[in-house]
Amino acid sequence: MTAQKTRSRVPRLLQAVLVVVGIYLAFRVIFDVILGQPIPASLMVMYMFFVIAGVFMVFTFTEESARELVAPIKALVDDPGKKNIRNVVFIIVPLLVSAIVYYKMQPSLDAPLELRSIHPAPPASVKAFGKRFDLTKLENPYRKFEKQDPEKFRELVAEGGVVYIQNCQYCHGDKLDGNGPYAQGLNPVPLNFQDVGTIAQLQESFLFWRIATGGPGLPKEATPWISSMPVWQNFLSEEEIWKVILYLYDYTGRRPRSWEHE
């Protein structure tokens, strides 16, 4: 290999960098401009990792090409003629790195981020009252009386109302609006059942699960959970829970969500 030939081309290191940058830009153009679908940063990192690895493999395929690739770096480190550039680089690079680290380590004064899903996906089945309940099939055993025996249904709703006033209004409020006397001191706040975003969106089986197992029954993926919602299976019977559910829907005038269209 003659020195002349090497000098006549772009240095291999620069070539490699240009290829990597070119592929990066191509990705951006294809995804952002042509497809109109921005590519997720994590995916981009993965793609670029393979691109860099691939380019490195190609550019170091023979010993000769490997030597050419690192030649500028090697020269910088041991060529006596490059002493000044070397000193500058060895000062600038650490300064740059420390600046980046310093900038990234800036403490944030924002409250710590708590990503909480208000209605986490329910498990397929739950354990309560020493039994397993299949939440996909579970139904309120009293719901049928709404049509079959309206008088009996009114009684059940009234009984549910008693359960509610004795146990739930302290937090969820006597108007079911989440504004009970304890509500101010709680975080997360007790839910407002009048809001269309709560029970109107849910099936009765979901409510049964949430009432029976409370805050501690929430799935791990919904953490950090610091919900004060009590575990009502410790204090109420299954029947009382179903009745209080009837009351929640009746008082708010909402319909539980169900699979079949009514």
**Binding-site member from 128, 207, 212, 246 for ligand HEC (CB under 6 A):** 207
Contact call for residue 170 and ligand HEC (CB under 6 A): yes
Exposed (0-12), middle (13-18) or buried (19+): which is 20, by Cβ within 10 Å? middle
**Which of 9, 257 has the CB closer to ligand HEC?**
257
Q: Side chain identity at 139, as an amino acid letter? A: E
**By CB under 6 A, which span of 73-81, 101-109, 145-153, 229-237 interacts with ligand HEC?**
229-237
Q: Side chain identity at 160, as an amino acid letter? A: G
Contact call for residue 168 and ligand HEC (CB under 6 A): yes
Round to whole Å and give the CA distance between 242 and 140.
Answer: 6
Query: What is the CA 200 to chain-centroid distance, rounded?
Result: 24
**Binding-site member from 140, 198, 213, 252 for ligand HEC (CB under 6 A):** 198
Exposed (0-12), middle (13-18) or buried (19+): which is 209, by Cβ within 10 Å? buried
Round to whole Å and give the CA distance between 102 and 70.
Answer: 30
Least Å from the CB of residue 209 to ligand HEC = 9
**By CB under 6 A, which span of 10-18, 64-72, 81-89, 203-211 interacts with ligand HEC?**
203-211
Residue ranges binding ligand HEC (CB under 6 A) = 119, 167-168, 170-172, 182, 186, 188, 190-191, 198-199, 202, 207, 210-211, 215, 227-230, 232, 244
